[in-house]
Amino acid sequence: AQKITQTQPGMFVQEKEAVTLDCTYDTSDQSYGLFWYKQPSSGEMIFLIYQGSYDEQNATEGRYSLNFQKARKSANLVISASQLGDSAMYFCAMTIRTNAGKSTFGDGTTLTVKP
Amino acid sequence: EAQVTQNPRYLITVTGKKLTVTCSQNMNHEYMSWYRQDPGLGLRQIYYSMNVEVTDKGDVPEGYKVSRKEKRNFPLILESPSPNQTSLYFCASSNYNSPLHFGNGTRLTVT
């Protein structure tokens, strides 16, 4: 079975600073994908970034980057130059290649950006 | 516009009264799935489908049914809703190894 752990229920960051949201995962599969999603207070779920287990380079998408440490089974999201609009709930999620319909989510981290 | 459409957005019902939440996607995605979101518990997968007529249980399937008769539609059925099924529900679709596209959610209250 797969498991995602997000140990930070809530985080605060000052506007324009960088912040790291932690995610650790557990799976016995060698081939899997890791995703981060953002959920603003309006409720919709927005895809941010993806990392494949065989990708050698850390994924980046604009101000978002994924610090992927395979041996430690961690996939932390780094947001650079935080903006007030980054205040939201963030979810880490995983799918495994052998059962790609099955997705496992963490409990989420609520990020608050302070002006 | 590529989207996943869920209806209704809000639903209040009483214990035991059968209900269906509809979900439709226009992206020709192979995979579709249902999740419930409860405070402090993240998103938990209820059921998922890999293709037409192929469905499987997620982590919390008890009390729910699904069907996938057409590729674009994946309704969630609560045959006899109970108060512990009060939650925010999301439908999502995707292709293999690609991000989930979510609907806007359905907030269900069972009294």
Taking alpha carbons only, the member of B60, B75, B71, B65 closest to residue B21 is: B75
Do the Cβ atoms of B100 and A91 come within 8 Å?
no
Indicate yes or no: CB of A44 within 8 angstroms of CB of B105: yes
Predicted confidence (pLDDT) at residue A91 exceeds the cutoff of 90 = yes
What would the two tokens of residue B69 be? 């008769």
Cross-chain CB nearest to A101 (options B50, B59, B88): B50
Kindly list the distances between the CA atom of residue B51 and the CA atoms of B12, B31, B33, in Å, as whole numbers in the listed order: 31, 6, 11
Rg (CA), chain A: 14
- Give yes or no for a contact between A74 and A6, defined as CB atoms under 8 angstroms apart: no
Q: What is the pLDDT of residue A1?
A: 85
Q: What is the 3-state secondary structure (H, E, C) of chain B?
A: CCCEEEECCEEEECCCCCEEEEEEECCCCCEEEEEEECCCCCEEEEEEEEECCEEEECCCCCCCEECCCCCCECCEEECCCCHHHCEEEEEEEECCCCCCEECCCEEEEEC
**pLDDT tens figures, B61-89:** 999 999 999 999 999 999 999 999 999 99
The answer to whether residue B2 scores a pLDDT higher than 90 is: no
pLDDT in tens, A5-58: 999 999 999 999 999 999 999 999 999 999 999 999 999 999 999 999 999 899
pLDDT at B25: 98
Write down the residue that tokens 């249902």 correspond to. Answer: B34
Which of A:47-106 have CB within 8 Å of B? Answer: 47, 50, 52, 91, 93, 95, 97, 100-106
Average pLDDT over residues B33-48: 95
Whole-angstrom distance, CA of residue B72 vs CA of residue B31 = 10
Whether residue B40 has pLDDT greater than 90: no
Amino acid at B41: L
Average pLDDT over residues B27-32: 96
> Chain B residues with CB-CB distance to A under 8 A?
31, 33, 35, 40-45, 48-50, 56, 58-59, 88, 90, 92, 96-97, 99-102, 104-105
Burial of B110 (0-12, 13-18, 19+ CB in 10 A): buried
In this structure, what DSSP letter does residue A68 have? E
Residues of chain A neighbouring B90 (CB-CB closer than 8 A):
45
Query: Would the pLDDT of B41 be above 90?
Result: no
8 Å CB contact between A60 and B105? no
- Nearest chain A residue to B42, by CA: A107
Point out the residue among A33, A43, A106 whose CB comes nearest to the CB of B105: A43
- Binary contact (B99, A105; C-beta < 8 A): no
* pLDDT for the residue numbered B39: 87
For residue B96, the chain A residue with the least C-alpha distance is A100
